[in-house]
Amino acid sequence: MNIGIPLEIKTGETRVSCTPAGVRHLVAGGHRVVVQSGAGASSGFSDDKYRRAGAMVTGSADKAWRCDLVVKVKEPLEEEYRHFRKGLVLFTYLHLAGNPGLASKLLETEVTAIAYETVEENGRLPLLSPMSEIAGKMSVLMGAYFQSSRFGGGGKLLGGVPGVLPASVVVLGGGSAGMHAAKVAAGLGASVTLLELGQERMRMLESSLPAQVRTLYSTAQHVEEQLATADLVIGAVLVPGAAAPKLVTRPMLRHMKKGAVLVDIAIDQGGCFESSRPTTHEDPVFVEEGVLHYCVTNMPAAYPETSTEALTGVSLPYVRRMADLGLESAMVMMPGLVGGLNTWQGRLTNRAVAESLSLPFEENPFA
């Protein structure tokens, strides 16, 4: 199979979808890999490393996109829609619930689109998990940074000092991102409250997180009460494939401390704060109702070496299986791919995405 790895063009995106080691693995299986020049540069992988791994390196985005299977990191931007065609298999993070324009174009051009974030194995989201972990850890670092009065934050050091109370950190959602955010915040010495709906999940979190992390059943009232004293709020809510629920409304902001910081990890899925809007690494924050919002849509791109290695490690088995067997046989051999299929032959095959976009849903042909 011909596999294309294009250069990511999203603002601030520094990751690449496959390392040279991953390319070597694909080439060893008899596949042709076309890498666009410069695709791996920001992750520390030169064109020469890809050549030595057996890839064909090209300066043309068209050649990378002309392959049977295109493997990316982030969702295609409008200027990449011209590459869409019937028969193309696209494997990447899509987040279609927050991007109706992209969903419409994929359906119109009959692209077979498989979303990393909805691939599911035994109740887990294996291709989302490592990026969630990175974003969760990073969310606290960014929140602490923008708490500085230099940026308009409240000026409260997360861990405090002897004789001064630590900052209050509220984490909404106890999945992978929320758990790692809570762990890092506690490690810095903050007082942490994690709100979660699942009772079994809360029991697991209680047993695995540091003692200064308290869990609380997530209700609108509990969220509002915690926001009133919070210095940093991490939005880490996930409903696979669907738009994120708006847990923090604009009226709630008005009762928060001025200079508090919100970090919305769920912004790819529309955000879990009503006041959220996408930002970039170049211009990451804005202020609403006196509260700083950090809503960068590709947070892990700040750490491309770690992120690229982690993403390749989990995505490569799926890429290799699709290349070896073809899409339909790969779906049988790796059932998790079935949940990843979002569009196929002009049909929307993920129910959560269809409901979020109010579009017709058709049963997954491989389910």
3-state helix, strand, coil in the chain (%, to 5): 40, 20, 40
Instruction: State whether the Cα torsion 16-171-292-223 is positive or negative.
Output: positive
What is the Rg, in whole angstroms, of the alpha carbon atoms belonging to the chain? 21
DSSP 109-165: HT-EEEEGGG--BTTB-TTTHHHHHHHHHHHHHHHHHHTSGGGTS----TT-BTTBP
* Residue at token pair 């042909």: 365
Q: How far apart are CA 176 and CA 179, in angstroms?
A: 5
In angstroms, the CA 102 to CA 94 distance is 9
What residues act catalytically?
Answer: 95, 268
How would DSSP label each residue in 318-341? Answer: HHHHHHHH-HHHHHHH-THHHHHE
In angstroms, the CA 291 to CA 262 distance is 7
Separation between Cα atoms, residue 29 and residue 38, nearest integer Å: 24
Instruction: Map tokens 């696979």 to a residue.
Output: 240
Four-CA torsion 252, 256, 261, 264, nearest 10 degrees: -10
Which residue has 């979190």 as its token pair?
Answer: 205
